[in-house]
Amino acid sequence: VLSGPCAAILRPSDRCDDMIYGIGIDVVEPHRVVRLLEKYGDRFARRVLTPREWPGYTKTINRVFYVANRFAAKEAFSKAMGTGFRFPVTLQCISIVQDRRGKPGFEFHPRLQAMVDEEGIKAHHVTISDEKSLACACVVLQTRQPITGNFWTNINDGRFAIPGIIELSNLRPLQGHIT
């Protein structure tokens, strides 16, 4: 039963259609990237990076972490999508870009953008971090879908619940979907 300070979180007038589509995290050991760059040179970097990312690679001081961070972010995205790397979710269809403040984000190849749109994904959040022996990234994909049908269940005497999650008191019955 939801009570106390948390009771004010949801009110009958609240929109309840922001949902997490998926969460992905990945870690990369930079020493593995070092070995691959030593063995294959820029050919390896070109397999991981898109043409949009390539200028950053050529200008950066630490190419190993540049590649490791982007690989981790792309892998985390593939996990958040729930597909792994499978067309159109591929290294060459995902670009890591930065806004004017340096915050990382994604740009997608048109085929991947179409898939993201079809899945109803309206926002993405990515964070990238590294230390001497580790590069990591976390991705959260957000969707907005209307709540319809039996999402809220009447459990008698004016109380409603989201089955298996929470129970709320003093809510009005919902008709159709929340808009």
**What does the pLDDT look like over 63-82, one tens digit per residue?**
999 999 999 999 999 999 99
Burial class (CB in 10 A: 0-12, 13-18, 19+), 13: exposed
Query: What pLDDT sits at residue 60?
Result: 96
Question: Per the structure block, which two tokens stand in for 106?
Answer: 């994604």
- Give the bridge partners for 95, in sequence order: 107
Is the predicted pLDDT of residue 129 greater than 80, yes or no?
A: yes
Label the pairing between strands 160-162 and 104-108.
unpaired
Report, as an integer, the average pLDDT of 16-43.
Answer: 93
Using alpha carbons, list the distances in angstroms from residue 72 to 49, 113, 116. 12, 20, 19
CA distance 176 to 179: 9
pLDDT at 123: 95
Cβ neighbours of residue 25 closer than 8 Å, sequence gap 6 or more: 76, 79, 136, 137, 138, 139
* pLDDT at residue 170 is higher than 70: no
Residue 18 banded pLDDT, cuts 50, 70, 90: confident
Residues 69-127: tens digit of each pLDDT = 999 999 999 999 999 999 999 999 999 999 999 999 999 999 999 999 999 999 999 99
Percent of the chain with pLDDT over 90: 69
Q: For the residues 40-69, what does the mean pLDDT come to?
A: 97
Closest CA to 24 of 84, 100, 76: 76
- Alpha helix ranges (H) inside the chain: 30-40, 42-48, 54-59, 63-81, 110-118
pLDDT of residue 145: 62
| pLDDT the model gives residue 76 | 98
